[in-house]
């Protein structure tokens, strides 16, 4: 009997709809290396209270997504089941299950930025990134996330590159930033 | 022999003297998330580099943000034996000039400075005194008293400004029951939105003799337009930590958690550093300050979920589960986190505690109104001249806050609509602007102080479009546990979308109301119960505008001319 490998089917929304379980005979070398890295991350958590959620946050903070190995290792560490860990991972909207682009661009669409023009920023960023909704640009360089509130409403409209906030945006300035992230001439 | 606390105070006084009364200048840069968003970190680096390269005799520190966010990046220079001079909207390129002219030659850049403070009463040129500017003069800063002055990561600077004196007083002079009585007498009401008297809430937990009891501090703060909880943690985390330790002592608890959403890096870093510094100084851990009281504290992170701010959902998140609300009873004071007795308070509520214990309940009761003592920490954003975070006494009217503190709107414009208290609270029209900021007066007007956020909209804002963005937020953030909330928000969003696109029918209004009523009746927590609030209040103040969208003859709303809005595609499974 080989170890169970789990293949998750994704909708475009990145949320697993249902889970298929397949059996494979051997774990690939890459997977076992990733598994080792995840164990290190999980064991390096500094705070006294370790939970399923804290473990998933620790993995995502380090490698920016949750591979299958993270789900399994978290279940082992916390003594819970793969189903239980998935129920948590799929609930919080900050988690993703495939590697993101090189940079993550958050654009706030919440009501405070909405009144000062967030929609136009979203639209211009879509054009530059050649996407029509949240997700990765075709070249894999930029991941666009809609954010409900980045916490600097007084400087709205706000965007953020890898959590570093940039305020007072215009459609033009945001497009310029998005082009730079893709490595295009501005 | 000096006590442990007296030794700490002596060290702190020495540190503060070095910074403020030595022969070096002190250059302070206002930090925080909001400052970062407009480049405060680059300004700080430039000032440090300039000070080093010119060999100027100056300390350069990143301190807390003062709250005057329209002036960020904000820099001030305190000269030895001189006044403190403030610069607003500083560019990194100006750093060299500030260091050379102001610090080295002693000549402030008069055309760039906006105010001064302190000195010998002779003033600085014709600059206004900081304390005389309306957006400062009208504030009464209790929870935000150190903003702009101290480095949030330096425990000694906090202690030098009166910090931890309240904890020391509590541990040496007061019993837990006396503190609970003091908080009750002060009339401190919860600042998370529900306005429940904090002392009464504490008294539910205090009598239990359980060996493990928790006090939780809620900084989920997902409300768009509100940034005061995160503001307090990132700018003065020790106020919160001290308050939470006192909260723990008063309720005879053993563990405290500060609960923050992941991704908000500055508040998280600030809270973690403050807790670590307290452990090192003997302010947390076993036998705090040599007393019998022991207390542990840590930061707990949640993933992105607005409902995690609901008290029982918050406990689920700390336990590492999906943050969905629990059935009540049992109430948290009986069986909360890990089924142990638990007490939950908002950041702002806890941040008032040190000053109440230090100055007494009579002092706090004397501020604010009859029914709501203390201050409101208001966050102004949107179409307002001076966006920022301001702590004003309760009882000030909304109009005073908008016009005097916030500077109103540009000439020729008019404030049309306010969104006050977060997306589950109401919209206010101009006839409500004379309402007092006070829990009861605000809720009578159909809104709430709630989180303290006020989003200001001028006449370019379409009310139905604003409602759609609020309901879209609520729909996106519904945890999905109760179907009236999960489906109701989706249904309301569809109707509002139709209204924005001029495809709605008159019957849609009654449908909206019916869905809203079902949500109120059939949801476990406030997210569903209050979900219809924005629409209900909008009907009160902007009924005509809303009804004009029902005949299919109006102009489409939104910024694209066809009524569309870009919405998130993701919903919770």
Mutate to test the interface with A, among B68, B263, B427 (most CBs of A within 10 A): B263
| Nearest Cα residue in chain B from A88 | B322
Q: In terms of domains, do B183 and B53 share one?
A: no
pLDDT for residue A3: 42
Domain closes at, from A64, A89, A114: A89
Q: In Å, what is the CA distance from B285 to each residue of A46, B7, B145, B255, B495?
A: 16, 18, 27, 10, 54
User: Which residues are registered as beta bridge partners of A138?
Assistant: none
Phi-psi label, residue B168: left if phi above 0, alpha if psi -120 to 50, beta otherwise: alpha
Do the chains contact at B34 and A154, CB–CB below 8 Å? Answer: yes
CA distance A93 to A96: 8
**In this complex, which of A115, A126, A164 lies closest to B36 when CB atoms are compared?**
A164
The number of helix segments (H) and strand segments (E) in chain A equals 7, 7
**Is 70 exceeded by the pLDDT of residue A13?**
no
pLDDT of residue A22: 53
Do B255 and B360 belong to one domain?
A: yes
The CATH number for B115's domain is: 3.40.30.10
Residue with token string 């006449």: B459
Among candidates A91, A109, A115 on the partner chain, residue whose Cβ is nearest the Cβ of B382: A115
Q: What's the confidence (pLDDT) of residue B171? A: 97
**Residue at a domain's end among B404, B429, B456:** B456
Q: Which two tokens stand for residue B30?
A: 């206002």
Residues 6+ positions from A43 with CB-CB distance below 8 Å: none
Residues 442..471 of B with a Cβ closer than 8 Å to A: which?
Answer: 453, 455-457, 461, 466, 469-470
> A20 and A60: one domain?
yes
Pairing of strands B255-261, B296-302: parallel
Contacts (Cβ under 8 Å, ≥6 apart) of B56: B25, B50, B99, B100, B103, B104
Whether residue A112 is found in the same domain as residue A44: no
- B212 interface with A at CB cutoff 8 Å: no
Domain contains B154: no
CA distance B451 to B171: 31
Phi, psi of A39 (to 5 degrees): -60, -40
Residues B536-555 have pLDDT tens digits of 999 999 999 999 988 877 77
Torsion angle of C-alpha atoms A78, A162, B32, A177, degrees rounded to 10: -170
Residues A45 and A108 placed together within one structural domain of the fold: no
CB contact under 8 A, A111 and B388: no
Count of structural domains within chain A: 2
Does residue A120 share a domain with residue A71? no
Domain check: are A10 and A76 in the same one?
Answer: yes
Q: Which of A4, A115, A15 is CA-nearest to residue A69?
A: A4
**Cβ pair B357, B170 in contact under 8 A:** yes
Which pLDDT score is estimated for B560?
79
Last residue of a domain, one of A39, A55, A89: A89
Chain A CB contacts of B225 under 8 Å are 110-112, 149, 153
Scan for tokens 């390129």, then name that residue: B93
Please name the member of A94, A95, A114 whose beta carbon is closest to the beta carbon of B469.
A114
Q: How far apart are CA A85 and CA A72, in angstroms?
A: 8
Q: Does residue B339 share a domain with residue B200?
A: yes
B357 shares a domain with B295: yes
Domain that holds residue A34: 4-89
Q: Give residues 55 to 94 of B whose Cβ lies within 8 Å of A.
A: 69-70, 72
Helix/strand/coil for B142: coil
The residue among A46, A153, A161, A167 with the most chain B CBs within 10 A of its CB, best to mutate, is: A153
Is residue B285 included in any domain, yes or no?
yes
Q: How many domains does chain B have?
A: 4
Do A35 and A8 fall within a single domain? yes
DSSP assignment of B233-270, as one string?
HHH-HHHHHHHHHHHHHHTT-SEEEEEEETT-HHHHHH
Nearest CA in chain A to B319: A51
Min distance B305 CA to chain A CA atoms (Å): 6
Q: What is the pLDDT of residue A26?
A: 57
Residue A109 and residue A82 share a domain: no
Cβ distance B383 to B418 under 8 Å? no
C-alpha atoms less than 13 angstroms from C-alpha of A137 in its C-beta half-sphere: 23
- Beta pairing, strands B388-393 & B415-420: unpaired
**Which residues on chain A are in Cβ contact (under 8 Å) with B230?**
151
> How much is the average pLDDT of A23-50?
85
| Helices B347-359/B165-173 angle, 10° precision | 60
| CA of B178 vs chain A CAs: smallest distance (Å) | 31
Q: Which pLDDT score is estimated for B162?
A: 96
Domain boundary among B120, B137, B154: B137
Q: What is the CATH number of the domain that holds B484?
A: 1.20.1440.230
- SS3 (DSSP) at B429: strand
Domain around B289: 163-364
B41 and B168 co-located in one domain: no
Residue at B144 is within a domain: no
Check residue A10 and give its pLDDT: 34
- Report CA torsion sign: A56, A59, A64, A70: negative
B355 with B470, same domain? no
Contact B320 A148 (CB under 8 A): no
Check residue B60 and report its DSSP letter: E
- CB contacts of B297 in chain A (<8 Å) are none
Distance from the Cα of B123 to chain A's closest Cα (Å) equals: 31
Please report, for the domain that includes residue A109, its CATH number: 3.40.30.10
Distance CA(B520)–CA(B445), nearest Å, equals: 19
Give the whole-angstrom CA distance, residue B376 versus residue B379: 10
Between the CA of residue B226 and those of A53, A122, A175, what are the distances in Å? 25, 22, 27
Are residue A85 and residue A107 in the same domain, yes or no?
Answer: no
Domain boundary among A36, A67, A89: A89
Same domain, B208 and B288: yes
CA distances from A143 to A70, A121, A161 (A): 21, 15, 10
Smallest CA–CA distance, residue A5 to chain B, in Å, is 23
Q: Measured between beta carbons, which residues in chain A are less than 8 angstroms from residue B33?
A: 150-152, 165
For residue B169, the model assigns a pLDDT of 97
| Residue A45, domain member (yes or no) | yes
Residue A111 and residue B423: Cβ atoms within 8 Å?
yes
Q: Give the pLDDT confidence score for residue A1 in this predicted structure.
A: 36
C-alpha distance from B379 to closest chain A C-alpha (Å)? 8
**Could B470 and A49 be called an inter-chain contact, meaning their C-beta atoms sit closer than 8 Å?**
no
Higher pLDDT among residues A3 and B241, named by residue: B241
> Are the Cβ atoms of B469 and A133 closer than 8 angstroms?
no
Residue A186 in any domain: the answer is no
**A132 shares a domain with A171:** yes
In a domain, B570, yes or no: no
Flag residues of chain B having pLDDT under 70: 570-573
Using a CB-CB cut-off of 8 Å, the residues of chain B touching A62 are: none
| Distance set, CA B54 to CA B25, B103, B113 (Å) | 14, 10, 22
In a mutagenesis test of the B interface, which of A70, A111, A132, A146 is the best target, namely the one with the most B β-carbons within 10 Å? A111
Q: Is residue A53 part of a domain?
A: yes
Instruction: Determine, for residues A49 and B318 on separate chains, whether the beta-carbon distance falls below 8 Å.
Output: yes
Asked if B251 contacts B176 with a C-beta cutoff of 8 angstroms, the reply is: yes
* Residue B320 and residue B356 in one domain: yes
The distance of Cα B256 from the centroid of its chain, to the nearest Å, equals 20
Cα nearest neighbour of A126 on chain B: B566
Domain check: are B489 and B386 in the same one? no
Identify whether residues A111 and A167 lie together within a single domain. Answer: yes
What CATH code is carried by the domain that includes residue B443?
3.10.20.600
* C-alpha separations of B458 from B5, B245, B382, B409 in Å: 52, 43, 9, 8
Residues B169 and B223 in one domain: yes
Of A89, A100, A95, A98, which is closest to residue A161 (Cα–Cα)?
A100
Residue A97 lies inside a defined structural domain of this protein: no
The domain boundary, picked from B395, B423, B456, lies at: B456
Q: Is B423 on the interface with A (CB under 8 A)?
A: yes
Any idea what the Cα angle at residue A146 is, between residues B66 and A95, rounded to 5°? 100
Residues in chain B closer than 8 A to A126 (CB atoms) = 566
**What are B453's strand-pairing partners?**
B379
In a domain, A76, yes or no: yes
- In a domain? residue B101: yes
B124: its two tokens: 């600085």
Contact status of B381 with chain A (Cβ, < 8 Å): yes
* pLDDT score for B570: 65
Tokens at residue B496, please?
Answer: 């509002």
CA-to-CA dists, residue B6 to A13, B82, B151, B285, B452, angstroms: 58, 30, 21, 19, 37
Residues A138 and A162 in one domain: yes
Based on the fold, state whether residues A46 and A109 are members of the same structural domain: no
Position B521 scores a pLDDT of: 96
- Laid out side by side, the sheet with B113-118 consists of B58-63, B25-30, B75-78, B83-87, B113-118
Prediction pTM value? 0.94
Q: Which of B475, B375, B461, B458 is nearest to B424 (CA)?
A: B475
Percent of chain A's residues with pLDDT above 90: 79
Q: In this structure, what CATH number is given to the domain that contains residue B235?
A: 3.40.50.11540
Q: Please check the confidence at residue A5 and state whether its pLDDT lies above 70.
A: no
What six digits make up the tokens of B277? 């510094």
Rg (CA), chain A: 19
> Is residue B12 in a domain?
no
CA atoms within 13 A on the CB side of A125: 35
A38 assigned to some structural domain: yes
- ipTM passes above 0.90: yes
* Residue of B295, B570, B571 best to disrupt the A interface, most CBs of A under 10 A: B570
Shortest CB distance from B304 goes to which of A48, A94, A155? A94
Q: Which residue of B has its CA nearest to A167?
A: B37
- B349 plus B210 within the same structural domain: yes
B496 close contact with A: CB closer than 8 A: no
The answer to whether B565 faces chain A, any CB pair under 8 Å, is yes
Residues B358 and B379 in one domain: no
Q: Which chain A residue lies closest to B322 (C-alpha atoms)?
A: A88
- State the angle between helix axes of B237-250 and B176-186 in degrees (0 to 180), rounded to the nearest 10: 120
CB proximity list for B492: less than 8 A, separation 6 or greater:
B471, B475, B512, B515, B516, B531, B532, B535
In a domain, A62, yes or no: yes
Q: What is the pLDDT of residue B571?
A: 64
Calpha distance B495→B393 (Å, rounded)? 40
User: CA separation (Å) from A100 to A174, B306, B357?
Assistant: 20, 23, 49
Mark yes or no for CB contact B469/A112 under 8 Å.
no
pLDDT at A24: 53
* CB atoms B300 and A168 under 8 Å: no
Please give the pLDDT value at position A4.
44
Indicate the burial class of B291 (C-beta count within 10 angstroms; 0-12, 13-18, 19 or more).
middle
Q: Is residue A98 part of a domain?
A: no
């Amino acid at each position: 009997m080989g170890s169970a490998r789990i293949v998750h089917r994704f909708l475009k929304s990145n949320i697993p709809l249902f889970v298929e379980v397949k059996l494979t005979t051997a774990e690939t070398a890459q997977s076992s290396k990733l598994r080792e890295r995840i164990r290190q991350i999980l064991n390096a958590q500094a705070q006294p209270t370790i939970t399923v959620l804290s473990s998933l946050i620790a993995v995502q903070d380090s490698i920016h997504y949750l591979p299958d190995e993270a789900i399994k290792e978290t279940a082992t560490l916390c003594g819970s089941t793969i189903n239980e860990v998935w129920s948590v991972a799929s609930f919080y909207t900050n988690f993703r299950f495939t590697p993101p682009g090189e940079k993550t661009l958050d654009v706030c669409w919440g009501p405070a930025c909405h009144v000062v023009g967030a929609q136009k920023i979203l639209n211009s960023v879509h054009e530059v990134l050649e996407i029509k909704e949240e997700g990765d640009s075709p070249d894999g360089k930029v991941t666009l996330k809609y954010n409900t509130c980045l916490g600097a409403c007084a400087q709205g409209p706000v965007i953020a590159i890898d959590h570093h906030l940039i305020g007072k945006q215009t459609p033009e300035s945001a497009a310029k930033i998005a082009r730079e992230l893709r490595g295009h001439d501005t | 022999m000096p006590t442990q606390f007296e030794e700490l105070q002596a060290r702190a006084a020495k540190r503060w003297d070095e910074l403020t009364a030595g022969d070096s200048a002190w250059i302070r840069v206002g930090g925080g998330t909001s400052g970062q968003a407009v480049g405060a970190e680059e300004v700080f680096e430039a000032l440090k580099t300039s000070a080093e390269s010119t060999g100027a005799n100056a300390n350069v520190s990143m301190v807390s943000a003062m709250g005057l966010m329209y002036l960020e990046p904000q820099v001030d220079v305190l000269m030895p034996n001189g006044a403190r001079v403030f610069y607003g909207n500083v560019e990194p390129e100006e750093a060299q000039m500030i260091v050379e002219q102001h610090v080295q030659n002693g000549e402030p850049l008069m055309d760039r400075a906006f105010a001064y403070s302190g000195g010998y009463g002779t003033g600085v040129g014709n600059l206004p005194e900081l304390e005389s500017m309306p957006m400062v003069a009208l504030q009464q800063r209790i929870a935000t008293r150190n903003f702009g002055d101290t480095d949030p990561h330096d425990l000694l600077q906090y202690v030098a400004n009166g910090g931890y004196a309240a904890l020391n007083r509590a541990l040496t002079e007061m019993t837990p029951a006396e503190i609970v009585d003091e908080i009750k007498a002060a009339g401190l009401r919860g600042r998370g939105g529900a306005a429940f008297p904090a002392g009464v809430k504490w008294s539910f937990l205090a009598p239990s003799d359980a060996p493990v009891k928790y006090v939780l501090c809620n900084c989920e703060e997902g409300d768009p337009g509100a940034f005061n909880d995160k503001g307090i943690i990132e700018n003065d985390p020790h106020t919160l930590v001290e308050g939470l330790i006192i909260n723990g002592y008063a309720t005879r608890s053993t563990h405290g958690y500060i609960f923050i959403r992941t991704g908000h890096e500055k508040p998280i870093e600030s809270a973690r550093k403050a807790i670590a510094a307290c452990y090192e100084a003997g302010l947390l851990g076993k036998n705090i300050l040599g007393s019998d009281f022991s207390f542990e504290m840590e930061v707990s992170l949640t993933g992105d979920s607005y409902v995690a701010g609901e008290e029982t959902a918050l406990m689920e998140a700390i336990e590492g589960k999906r943050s969905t609300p629990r059935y009540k009873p049992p109430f948290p004071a009986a069986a909360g986190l890990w089924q142990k007795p638990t007490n939950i308070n908002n950041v702002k509520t806890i941040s008032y505690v040190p000053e109440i214990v230090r100055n007494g309940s009579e002092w706090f009761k004397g501020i604010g109104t009859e029914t709501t003592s203390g201050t409101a920490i208001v966050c102004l954003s949107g179409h307002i001249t001076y966006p920022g975070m301001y702590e004003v006494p309760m009882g000030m009217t909304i109009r005073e806050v908008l016009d005097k503190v916030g500077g109103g709107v540009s000439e020729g414009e008019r404030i049309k609509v306010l969104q006050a208290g977060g997306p589950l609270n109401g919209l206010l029209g101009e006839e409500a602007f004379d309402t007092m900021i006070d829990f009861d007066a605000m809720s009578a007007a159909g809104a709430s102080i709630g989180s303290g956020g006020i989003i200001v909209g001028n006449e370019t804002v379409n009310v139905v479009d604003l409602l759609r963005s609020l309901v879209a937020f609520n729909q996106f953030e519904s945890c999905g546990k109760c179907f009236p909330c999960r489906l109701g928000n989706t249904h309301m969003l569809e109707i509002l979308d139709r209204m924005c696109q001029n495809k709605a029918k008159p019957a849609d209004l009654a449908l909206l109301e019916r869905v809203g009523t079902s949500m109120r009746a059939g949801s476990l927590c406030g997210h569903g119960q209050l979900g219809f609030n924005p629409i209900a209040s909008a009907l009160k103040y902007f009924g005509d505008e809303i009804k004009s969208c029902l005949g299919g003859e109006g102009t489409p709303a939104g910024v694209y001319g066809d009524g569309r809005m870009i919405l998130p595609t993701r919903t919770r499974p």
